[in-house]
Structure 1
Amino acid sequence: MDMTISTCFVLVHDPDVALGFYRDALGLEMRNDVKRDAFRWITVGSAKQPDVSIVLTNYLNGSPADHDALAALAAKGALNGVYFHTDDLDAAFKQVNAAGAEIVQEPADQPWGTRDFAVRDPAGNLVRVDQPPAAQ
């Protein structure tokens, strides 16, 4: 059996603000926008990976206490988001920084052999971008 990733979900508090970050700061394309009452599911992804999607959503099947707990975890930086690869880390960092993203870590060589940086999306999710050693 062979499995591949197709979709991952990232919880956000404001879908419009999240779309601005993932589309404008990270350069992903918007693929779909589904609205139902106060909830949205916005699908974005890389043009180079048409079969892999990220769904930005403000939908959480739970109580108001669950929403509060999630917000508290995001505020502590406990929520990991998505990890991306790029072939030009410096250009990616310049673009994300110019968009006003909250920088967690500037580009740095890591002991596990990659060079990366980290930012937070507007909902507090950690987003890391690395440049694999083969692309350096």
Structure 2
Amino acid sequence: MAGQVTSVFMYVEDVLKSLEFYNEVVGAEVAQIHAEEEGAPISLAILRIGDFSLMLHPREAHAAEFADTRPGVGIHLQLRVDDIDAFYQHCLDEGAMLSVSSEPTDQSWGWREFALKDPDGYVWSIYQDKSGGQWT
């Protein structure tokens, strides 16, 4: 049986702040925004990166589930871009938090990459595959 990963649910402190980060810094397209009623805080924001969806939910409603955990710990996400150096400069221009590595670094497996943290501490490995397609 074959499957395909299509989305990730991310519980965040401030949905609007995360929505702005993923839209403005990462370039995700805002697909849907939901609130329980007009004028209420956002209860779900769905963003698209290609065929993949990021579903942002407010963490507060699930506080009991996160009592002994920190968001972002235990998950590391990856985003492939066409021009890593241009994307890195874009992140700097947007004031994004860089993490783990400072600037794009060539790796022995053929990637050029750097790490980026979102407002809740989720780490993204931003990479350009220069392996000739070995890692697609």
Say which SS state the counterpart of residue 111 (structure 1) adopts: coil
- Aligned-pair distance for 1:33? 1.1
Higher alpha-carbon deviation: 28-37 or 88-97: 28-37
Secondary structure in 2 aligned to 1:25? helix
User: Does the CA contact (< 8 Å) of 2:33 and 2:42 recur in 1?
Assistant: no
What is the distance in 1 between the residues matched to 2:67 and 2:94?
28
Equivalent residue for 1:10? 10
Q: CA deviation at 1:2?
A: 2.2
Could you state the TM-score of these two structures normalised by the residue count of structure 1? 0.80
Gaps of 5+ in 1: none
Instruction: Return the match for 1:114 from 89, 111, 114.
Output: 111
Output one character per residue of 1:82-110: Cα deviation in whole Å (capped at 9) or x when no partner.
31001100111111111111111221112
Letter in 2 for 1:124: G
CA separation of 1:56 and 1:123: change in aligned 2, threshold 3 A: same
Question: C-alpha distance in 2, partners of 1:118/1:61?
Answer: 28
The alpha-carbon deviation at position 12 of structure 1 amounts to: 1.2
- 1:29-51 deviations in whole A, cap 9, x for unaligned? 000112236562111112xx2x3
Deviation larger for 111-120 or 17-26: 111-120
1:56 is aligned to 56
Tell me the SS of whatever aligns to 1:127: strand
Pick from 81, 84, 89 the counterpart of residue 89 of structure 1.
Answer: 84
Distance 1:55 1:31 in 2: 10
Does residue 1:123 correspond to 2:82, yes or no? no
Q: TM-score with structure 2 length normalisation?
A: 0.80
Question: Quick one: distance in 2 between partners of 1:17 and 1:130?
Answer: 24
Secondary structure of 2:13 counterpart: coil
Q: Is there any run of 5+ residues in structure 2 with no aligned partner, and where?
A: none
User: Bigger shift: 15-24 or 108-117?
Assistant: 108-117
Distance 1:79 1:92 in 2: 25
Deviation string, structure 1 residues 41-68 (Cα, Å, up to 9, x no partner): 111112xx2x3211112146351xx434
Q: How many residues align?
A: 126
How big is the alpha-carbon RMSD for the aligned residues of Structure 1 and Structure 2? 2.2
